Amino acid sequence: MTNSDRPNLAEVQASCVSIPLIDLQDLYGPNRCDILIQISLACQDDGFFQVKNHGIPEAVLNNMLRLSREFFRLPETEALKNYSDDTSKANRLSTSFNVKTEPVANWRDFLRLHCYPLEDHVHEWPSNPPSFREDVAEYCTSIRGLVLRLLEAISECLGLKRDHLDKTLSKHAQHMAFNYYPPCPEPELTYGLPGHTDPNLITILLQDDVLGLQGLRNGKWITVNPLPNTFIVNVGDQMQVISNDRYKSVLHRAVVNCNKERISIPTFYCPSPEALIAPATDLIHDEHPTLYRSFTYAEYYENFWARGLATECCLDKFKI
């Protein structure tokens, strides 16, 4: 790894420079308009924001973090029952990002699961720890409810019908990952995950209290300070396309440290593979011509995995 490929942790802005925190308590109340303005500005200016009073009990969040730690502390022989380096496999344990194509591995182990429709996937999930399937299924259902509320709000923010994003996703898809970043003896030499944008529509991230997530703002990396009982929401590539670049898919990365393990649990909400993605026609006019050709999500996702993680966004391949 060359110096330019390393994290340059000394140049990262202090964690006091944070991202917008939006209170969803009144999303369906008299302050809805104010909340929509906050969401819209965050999607335009930052590409990500934090939410509180999101409707999911704190006990559910804490239980997910506990389950994740328990899974990654299982005996190796038990955990490896779930291992695969086949990126097309829906439910698998692996390491780094794509070990088949990467010249340098990242400092991360992960368990990736598909979780919508639940009944199609739960039977393939790990059965250890014993409550894993039941507890994760409950969490997935709660997160999907939060996502659908946010998609209604974001559709409205864009001046579209409330169900526009919902309908664009066709049958919908939902994936999640349990990311485990162990302590690293030389954190300045490697990443947990290098800078990338997410290929999906929207990502909801649960993380523990250990610093590690960084986002790019105005050309500088900032550390996102974890807040208890909140989620990070970030705009993905498909949202950038549908909004015709009004909203930006955020470049972000994960760094590691030498003292503490870190857990993060992102949920990736996606179009189903056959869904046709293109800028919303109501957002196209003389001053804002269409910027992207139409494509299926399957085509986009295949391109994303084939190229691996890179600073250059996969979106560039689909611009007109």
Report the distance separating Cα 319 and Cα 86, nearest Å.
29
Report the distance separating Cα 97 and Cα 106, nearest Å.
7
Report the distance separating Cα 257 and Cα 185, nearest Å.
8
What are the pLDDT digits (tens) for 30-68? Answer: 999 999 999 999 999 999 999 999 999 999 999 999 999
Cis preceding linkage at 117, omega within 30: yes
Cβ-based neighbours of 258, under 8 Å, separated by 6 or more: 183, 184, 185, 186, 187
Backbone angles phi, psi at 91, to 5 degrees: -130, 115
Measure Cα distances from 290 to 73, 241, 285, 298 in Å.
Answer: 49, 9, 8, 21
Mean per-residue pLDDT pooled into runs of 10, the chain (320 residues):
55 64 97 98 96 98 97 92 84 69 71 96 95 97 98 98 97 96 90 90 97 90 93 97 96 93 97 98 95 97 77 83
CB–CB of 196/25 below 8 Å?
no
> What integer pLDDT is reported at residue 47 of this predicted model?
95
What are the pLDDT digits (tens) for 92-102? Answer: 998 755 445 55
DSSP 314: G
The beta strand positions in the chain, using DSSP E, are 21-23, 48-52, 92-95, 109-116, 173-181, 193-196, 202-207, 213-217, 220-223, 231-235, 252-254, 262-270, 276-277, 295-296
Cβ-based neighbours of 290, under 8 Å, separated by 6 or more: 244, 278, 279, 284, 320
Supply 175's token pair.
Answer: 């994936």
Using alpha carbons, select from 145, 166, 169 the residue that is nearest to residue 156: 166
Which contiguous run of DSSP H or E holds residue 237?
A: helix 237-242
DSSP 224: P
> What integer pLDDT is reported at residue 10 of this predicted model?
56
Using alpha carbons, select from 147, 93, 119, 113 the residue that is nearest to residue 271: 147
> What integer pLDDT is reported at residue 308 of this predicted model?
64
**Residue 245 half-sphere exposure, CB side, CA atoms within 13 Å?**
13
> What integer pLDDT is reported at residue 3 of this predicted model?
43
